Structure formats: C-alpha cells, structure tokens
C-alpha cells in the first residue's frame, strides 16, 4: 500500500456560525490525481485551503506525510497552490514570478536559473521570460502560475479551479497538459472543480462533495456507474432517478413494473432509488416493452438524439441513435445491468425527473420559492 501523503480527520469548519465543512475524512495517497468535485458552496475550496494552510479547522486534524500540521503556517508547508485567478505578482516579470519561491527560500542563484529554465521549458513558455504579466493572455498566465507552483518542487500541488477562466478548447488542451505534468513530476495533485466532465477525464480518484460533506469517494468509473445516492447520480452525468421497491435480490419494482436487475443486498421490499442512465435505454416499439411513453421533446445532439419521454407523468431522458419524433409513442427496454439501485438518502426525490434540466429552472418559474434554508424547514414542518 502506498504512503498516505494527506490525511484529514473529522474536519469541521464554520464561517459566521454556518457549517462549511462537516466532518470531512479524507485520505490521499502519494502520487495520485485527486479531484474534489461539487457544486459551488459545497466546501471543496475550503477543503483545499485547509490543506494549503490558509484556513485552520475548528475541529479535526490535518496530517501531512504522517505529521500533524494543523498549526504549521502556509509558508512552511510543502504544498503549492495554483489559484483560480492565478494571483501572479503584477510587479514582476515571468522569470521573476517563477523564481519567487526559490528566492525566498534562498536557493543559490545558479540553481535558480537552472530550475526556472527547466520548468519554463516544461510549460512551453520559452522566450517569455522578460515579459510583463499584464501582457500575457489568460492561457499564458495559467502556464506561469503552473511553473511558479511546481518550481519549488512541492510534494502536493493544489489546484483551485485553474481552468475555469479558459475557453472550452484551451481547457481541453490544458487538461491533457496538466495530466502530463502530473505524470512527469509524479507528485500528488489535488484538483478542485465543479465540472464533472473535467473530474472524470483527469482523475485517479474523484471526491464528490455537497453541503460540506463528502458524498462519495471513488474512481471515475465507480462514481459514474455506482453512485451512492441521488445527488451523485444527478451531479455526474445525466440520470433518470425513479422511486422503486426492492422486491428481492435481483428484482426491483418501479413505474408499476417488476424488472430484473443485478443489484442485491437490500432488505425485502426496501424502498430504493433506481438510476437509469439515458444512454443505456433501448428504444423499441411500445408493445415490446412493459415501459412505454410519449416523446414530448427531441433534441439533435450530433452523436445522438436526446429525447424526453413522458411515462405516467414522470419525464425520462433517453439518448438514442434511432430516429424518433415528437408525439411518437415508444417503448423503453431495460437490460438488468442498465439499472443501478441505491438506498434512499436525504437527496431522494430531489433529482432525476426531466421536467427541466436544472433545479434552478424550477425555482425561477416558481413565485413561491424562496432561496432560504428557513423556508425549507418551514415547508418540511408543514408537511
């Protein structure tokens, strides 16, 4: 087993009485590319800042390479951060920005020159050494930020949504480049993002967070194929999440139908959430499947069609390469391994119906919705 480079034990942080992190336990192995993924306000950046040393936890312990570092100030930690808006030194040129960390650590001059030249080559910034920061494009500034952070040879590199400000194509290129840099250096990367695609394509391990808690830790494949609850299923990719009852092992009932599945280990007649990914659903004629419904919308996506199908007032999303039309009655065929059954959670019923794509869409057209936790509590109490 590999060495644990970062270990967070039961970390809790509150700002102004509001809990931002609630009992975070996280072990990160040396040399891995770990992504903290979640919506804004989920606590991912706070977690990163705790590791960086910019926030100290209200309770819980931070271990670095086996040593407790709760009280170690940021400038003494062997981690480097790439900040969201790069935070380059505006009064220094490219070379001096990159050399900053080595100079404050009193590295000999000739070694500084050598090491800076090496990272400048690594991030393809040769020839830019004397350029002023404000004369660089966003992508170039990004490279300076990377070079500045890795030149000090940290054991862990923290990346706070570093690609968020770049346009789509450049972002894809930088994803590949960051991954390459990580392989070359062989150090641990802890990467924060709210972009699930970015998380899936870059990481060894994805940590899905919401509401100051870790929802799931796993490989990208695990997270996508075996989400633990409705939040993870909805946040990662598209998913239809329906209420179901686990009749027995390998048999689940939902949408009025008993359907064979591969999940087991639930209680008899236990209420569950069933996830079906839109791309796993086969379109057949209505009489070939017990599940059928009316196509209410079709969008051409290039690779496939994306259709919304109304099955007894529950809106399913399906992705298919078959030609289908709005107003058409179709059957939905599910194979046993197309379904993933999850235990009920606090998120049950909140996601997975495609009347709209985002919750926000529901909220903005609902005059009674107030974005306030208190009103939610009141609504719950009334129920």
Partner 1 sequence: MVKNKKSFFVGSPYYIWMIIFIVVPMLMVAYYSFTDIDGNFTLENIKNLSEYADTFVLSIFLGAVATLICLIIAYPLAFMISRSKASTQKMMIMLVMLPMWMNLLLRTYSWMTIIEDTGIINSLLSKIGIGPFHMINTAGAVVLGMVYNFLPYMILPLYSAMTKIDKNVLEAAEDLGANMFQRVFKVIFPLSVPGVVSGITMVFVPSVSTFYISQKLGGTGYTLIGDVIDTQFLNSGRNMGATLSLVLMVLILLCMLLMNQFASNEEEAMLV
Binding residues for partner 1, rule: CB under 8 A, are 52-54, 73-76, 79-81, 83-85, 87-93, 96, 100-101, 103-105, 132, 148-149, 152
Q: Which of 87, 262 has the CB closer to partner 1?
A: 87
Q: Which of 156, 233 has the CB closer to partner 1?
A: 156
CB of 18 to partner 1, least distance (A): 17
Q: Which of 104, 364 has the CB closer to partner 1?
A: 104
Let me know: does 214 contact 227? Beta carbons within 8 Å. Answer: no
CB of 21 to partner 1, least distance (A): 19
Q: Which two tokens stand for residue 245?
A: 């009852």
Alpha carbon distances (Å) from 324 to 154, 286, 307: 54, 13, 8
DSSP 131: -
CB of 101 to partner 1, least distance (A): 3
Let me know: does 6 contact 64? Beta carbons within 8 Å. Answer: yes
Instruction: Please name the helix (run of DSSP H) or strand (run of DSSP E) that holds residue 377, with its range, or none.
Output: helix 373-382
CB of 58 to partner 1, least distance (A): 20
CB of 83 to partner 1, least distance (A): 5
Q: Which of 59, 105 has the CB closer to partner 1?
A: 105
CB of 122 to partner 1, least distance (A): 17
Interatomic CA distance for residues 285 and 316, integer angstroms: 16
Give the contacts of 362 (CB within 8 A, at least 6 positions apart).
Answer: 355, 356, 369
Give the contacts of 201 (CB within 8 A, at least 6 positions apart).
Answer: 175, 220
Interatomic CA distance for residues 249 and 187, integer angstroms: 43
Give the contacts of 114 (CB within 8 A, at least 6 positions apart).
Answer: none
- What sign for the dihedral angle of Cα 167, 171, 174, 176? negative
Q: Which of 80, 175 has the CB closer to partner 1?
A: 80
Q: Which of 111, 360 has the CB closer to partner 1?
A: 111
């Amino acid at each position: 087993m590999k060495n644990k480079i970062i270990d967070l034990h039961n970390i809790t942080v509150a700002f102004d009485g509001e809990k931002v992190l609630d009992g975070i336990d996280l072990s990160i192995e040396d040399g891995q590319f770990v992504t903290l993924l979640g919506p804004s306000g989920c606590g991912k950046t706070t977690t990163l800042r705790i590791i960086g040393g910019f926030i100290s936890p209200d309770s819980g312990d931070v271990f670095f390479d086996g040593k407790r570092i709760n009280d170690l100030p940021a400038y003494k930690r062997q981690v480097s951060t790439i900040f969201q808006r790069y935070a380059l030194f505006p009064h220094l040129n490219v070379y001096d920005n990159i050399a900053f960390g080595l100079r404050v650590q009193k590295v000999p001059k000739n070694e500084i020159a050598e090491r800076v030249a090496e990272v400048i080559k690594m991030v393809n910034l040769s020839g830019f050494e004397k350029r002023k920061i404000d004369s660089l494009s966003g992508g170039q500034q990004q490279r300076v930020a990377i070079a500045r952070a890795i030149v000090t040879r940290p054991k862990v590199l923290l990346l706070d949504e570093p690609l968020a400000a770049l346009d789509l194509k450049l972002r894809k290129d930088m994803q590949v480049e960051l991954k390459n840099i990580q392989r070359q250096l062989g150090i641990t990367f802890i990467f924060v993002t709210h972009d699930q695609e970015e998380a899936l394509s870059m990481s060894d391990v994805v940590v899905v967070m919401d509401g100051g808690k870790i929802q799931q830790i796993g490989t990208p494949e695990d997270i996508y194929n075996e989400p633990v609850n409705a939040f993870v299923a909805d946040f990662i990719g598209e998913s239809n999440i329906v209420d179901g009852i686990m009749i027995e092992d390998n048999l689940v009932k939902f949408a009025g139908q008993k359907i064979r599945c591969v999940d087991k280990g639930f209680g008899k007649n236990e209420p569950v959430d069933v996830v079906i990914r839109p791309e796993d659903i086969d379109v057949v004629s209505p009489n070939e499947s017990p599940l059928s419904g009316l196509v209410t919308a079709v969008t051409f996506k290039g690779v496939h069609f994306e259709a919304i199908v109304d099955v007894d007032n529950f809106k399913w999303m399906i992705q298919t390469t078959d030609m289908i039309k709005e107003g058409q009655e179709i059957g939905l065929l599910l194979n046993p391994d197309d379904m993933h059954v999850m235990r009920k959670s606090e998120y049950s019923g909140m996601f997975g119906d495609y009347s709209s794509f985002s919750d926000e869409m529901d909220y903005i057209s609902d005059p009674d919705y107030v974005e306030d936790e208190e009103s939610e509590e009141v609504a719950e109490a009334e129920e």
